[in-house]
Amino acid sequence: MTTNFYAPPSSIRGRRVVLPAAEARHVRTVLRAEAGDEMAVVDGRGGWYRVEITHVAPEQVLGTIVEQREDVGEPVVDATVALGVLKKRSRFETFVEKAVELGVRRIVPLRTQRTERDSVRKERLRNLMVAAMKQCRRSRLPDLAAPQSPEALLAASEADVKLVCHAGEEATPIRRAMVEAGDASALVLVGPEGGFSAAEVEAAVAAGCTPVSLGPRRLRAETAGLAALHSVMIGSKDPPNEARSSRRPTEPG
């Protein structure tokens, strides 16, 4: 099977995998899998498993791990994108879904001077992230932080490179900034509709951010977030489509 399925670490015991009910229904009713078939399962923490199905029931699918790998589909660069919470929820959801596909490691909703919402639908966003992780064949589910201010985020961040998207004349093209940074971990701040205020940009620079430009065109906030992420990712060297490490499954303890 070419489709990835998701099973949290709690569903994997030794060599035994029990798919969650929703995943099991998909295997049984959509793919019509049977005992003896194989499937790829990811645990959201970097684990990738080739699993032989041993039992199929209406609400349950069991399998045995026959091969295990680590970080299949994961990029080298550790990228965090912090985007201002958008007025239209669907636009923020589009950003989250596509950011997972592009390889983001962590997403932070920002509360800024120009945001008109201060919350997100975390459970819905997580479901979108799981679906995107499976669709693009990643093995690690990105972190989704609670909404917070840029100041709080920057105070806690340990990223090697910190960038704030800003259209001012002093801004450096983001690609140039990332070429100079190489594969260092990166934090990118992107404002909501209307961007960051001048005071927020000044505070970010004072906290160690480099102002960067995304080019001459005016982009919607969610597009800017994806463009910034792509610029960060494209400068890194992805590992081969295989895993960075591979090992046979361990026997249950």
Same domain, 140 and 66: no
Residue 251 lies in a domain: no
pLDDT at residue 243, as a whole number: 47
Q: What's the order of all strands across the beta sheet hosting 143-144?
A: 143-144, 106-110, 79-84, 186-190, 161-165, 210-213, 172-173
How far apart are alpha carbons 33 and 39 in whole angstroms? Answer: 9
> Which CATH number is 24's domain given?
2.40.240.20
pLDDT at residue 176, as a whole number: 84
Range of the domain at 54: 4-73
Tally Cβ neighbours within 10 Å of residue 56: 19
Strand partners, 252: none
Asked whether the predicted pLDDT for residue 227 surpasses 90, the reply is yes
pLDDT at residue 178, as a whole number: 80
* Mean pLDDT (the chain, rounded): 90
3-state secondary structure of 9: helix
3-state secondary structure of 82: strand
pLDDT at residue 182, as a whole number: 62
Same domain, 64 and 84: no
Same domain, 217 and 136: yes
Per-residue pLDDT tens digits for 66-88: 999 999 999 988 999 999 999 99
Asked whether the predicted pLDDT for residue 226 surpasses 50, the reply is yes
Residue 253 lies in a domain: no
Same domain, 102 and 132: yes
> Which CATH number is 85's domain given?
3.40.1280.10
Residue 245 lies in a domain: no
Same domain, 190 and 209: yes
More confident residue, 32 or 206: 206
How far apart are alpha carbons 149 and 172 in whole angstroms? Answer: 24
More confident residue, 68 or 217: 68
